[in-house]
Amino acid sequence: MIRKLIPTAALAALSVLTTLEPVSAQQSRRGPIDALQSVFGVAPDPTAPGRVLLATEYGLLRAAPDGFAEVLPQVSMAVVGLAPVPGGDAGRLLLSGFVENGEPGGILRSEDGGRSWTVLPGTGGRDGVAVTSLSVSRADPDRVAGLAEEIMLSSDGGTTWARAGQTPKDTLAVAMSGTRAERIYAGTMTGLRISDDGGRSWAEVPVTQNPVTAVASLSGGRVGAFVYGTGFMVADEAGSEWTTVATGFEDRYLRAMVEAPGGTIYGVADTGAILLGRDGGASWISFEGSDLATPERIAAGKALYAETCQTCHGVGGIGESPDNPTAQDEFGFKAPALNNDMHAWHHSDAGMRATIREGSPRNERMIAWKEKLTDQQIDSIIAYLKSTWSIRSLACQGSRHMRCN
């Protein structure tokens, strides 16, 4: 099952090419991020704090915590690889993708946070380069790795590329080391591999034999890996001891990760959801609504919930009839569970906000609260409710729940 769930680079590229509409028609598009099924990479937006850039089949998107994203018209291709370039200038980025005819669009570089992009010479066209799992070395920013049918490497910042001497079988993700220029990590279907000679030979990292679906270098000489069935793990590159930092992902997994300045880790779930590990990855929240997920707002939302919602929806959101979720009264369906037990996470933040504001036709007892609660109070209630959800539910929120079911 996991082999079917995790595409190789070739299958990921194929899915883009078979679903991509002309990018030119997408340039002014803005839409909900929970509608995105495939996100291949993420990077903090250097030009807009709190926002992120996403590599998607629709092109390069800028997403905000309000749950919406816009296509950036500067990049006219399906983007399958995206990575920040470490160094003193936080606005340097690389991306890779395919143009409409299915040929590689090349490696594009930005020096201004994504406002403008330049195609590196010789990387586009039929004989060009398109790689996912794009990674730039912290130890030497001229060294870049990516994944196509095989691991591809560049030693000049992405202009020229060559196949690694070897690619471990069933490689799912690749990342450059943060401490040694020649060191490369590869996540595979049967665990983590390491090369200390630029990809010519590989050794098994004795941490797991489960699929490693994402790997990334972290600040402080550390490396992070997502292990399917376990969770997020971290090790010091100078040592060999791995620590499980976060669990609770259940059957979901991360397909890409990047650490932002300040230590926040952004992860792309297999559902397309963006998750944040704001405390070094020990706990994870949804990017959607992350600007509201503060202890103060959650505490305020809990108090408001107890005052306005608890009578019908139960303590902690367990529902009016937790033993019979489909129970009805003379007005319609009884108040459903809003915690992790039932269907609340099937709705986006915007959907929940609309129901609270406008009421529900499912039962007239669910009145419109727009005259009694401010938008800020409604947002606080939503922040509280989401704090009761599992990581899996956050990864499956909104229209993504259909794929999770």
Q: What is the CATH number of the domain that holds 339?
A: 1.10.760.10
Measured between alpha carbons, how far apart are the two ends of the chain, in Å? 15
**242-246 sheet: strands from edge to edge:** 212-218, 222-227, 231-236, 242-246
The pLDDT of 259-281, averaged and rounded, is 94
> Does residue 61 sit in the same domain as residue 30?
yes
Contact 76, 24 (CB under 8 A): yes
**249 and 302 housed in the same domain:** no
Residues 304 and 243 in one domain: no
Could you give the 3-state DSSP secondary structure of residue 395? helix
Which range, 25-29, 83-87, 159-163, is most confident? Answer: 159-163
Residue 17 CA to residue 190 CA, distance in Å, equals: 28
The stretch 332-352 carries a mean pLDDT of 89
Does residue 310 share a domain with residue 241? no
Please compute the mean of the pLDDT values over residues 287-295 and round it to a whole number: 95
The residue with tokens 């390491």 is 194
Q: What is the pLDDT of residue 2?
A: 43
With 0-12 CB in 10 A as exposed, 13-18 as middle and 19+ as buried, what is 318?
Answer: middle
Q: Of 286, 306, 323, which closes a domain?
A: 286
Give the integer Cα–Cα distance in Å for 213 and 164. Answer: 20
Calculate mean pLDDT across residues 321-342: 86
Angstrom distance (rounded) from CA 228 to CA 222: 20
What is the structure's pLDDT at 28?
52
Domain-terminating residue out of 224, 258, 286? 286
pTM over 0.85: yes
> Among 214-218, 247-251, 319-323, 381-385, which stretch is predicted with the lowest mean pLDDT?
319-323
Instruction: Give residue-wise pLDDT tens across range 146-196.
Output: 999 899 999 999 999 999 999 999 999 999 999 999 999 999 999 999 999
Same domain, 186 and 117: yes
Range with the poorest average pLDDT among 143-157, 264-278, 356-370, 388-402: 356-370
Same domain assignment for residues 281 and 234: yes
Task: DSSP letter for 317, please.
Answer: G
Same domain, yes or no: 194 and 245: yes
pLDDT at 328 over 90: no
| Longest CA span, the chain | 72
Beta bridge partners of 349: none
* Residue 15, domain CATH: 2.130.10.10
Residues 66 and 215 in one domain: yes
Residues 76 and 184 both lie in one domain? yes
- Cα torsion for 54, 78, 351, 51, to the nearest 10°? 20
Residue type, 227: V
Q: Which residue shows structure tokens 């883009």?
A: 16
**Strand positions, DSSP E, 247-300:** 254-259, 265-269, 274-277, 285-286
Q: Which domain holds residue 358?
A: 295-404
Same domain, 91 and 226: yes
Of 365, 354, 386, nearest to 313 (Cα)?
A: 365
Residues 352 and 390 placed together within one structural domain of the fold: yes
Among residues 238, 262, 286, the one where a domain terminates is 286
Return left, alpha or beta for 59; rule: phi > 0 is left, psi -120 to 50 is alpha, else beta: left
281 and 306 belong to one structural domain: no
Number of domains in the chain: 2
**Rounded distance between C-alpha atoms, residue 194 and residue 192, angstroms:** 7
Residue range 60-72: mean pLDDT, rounded: 95
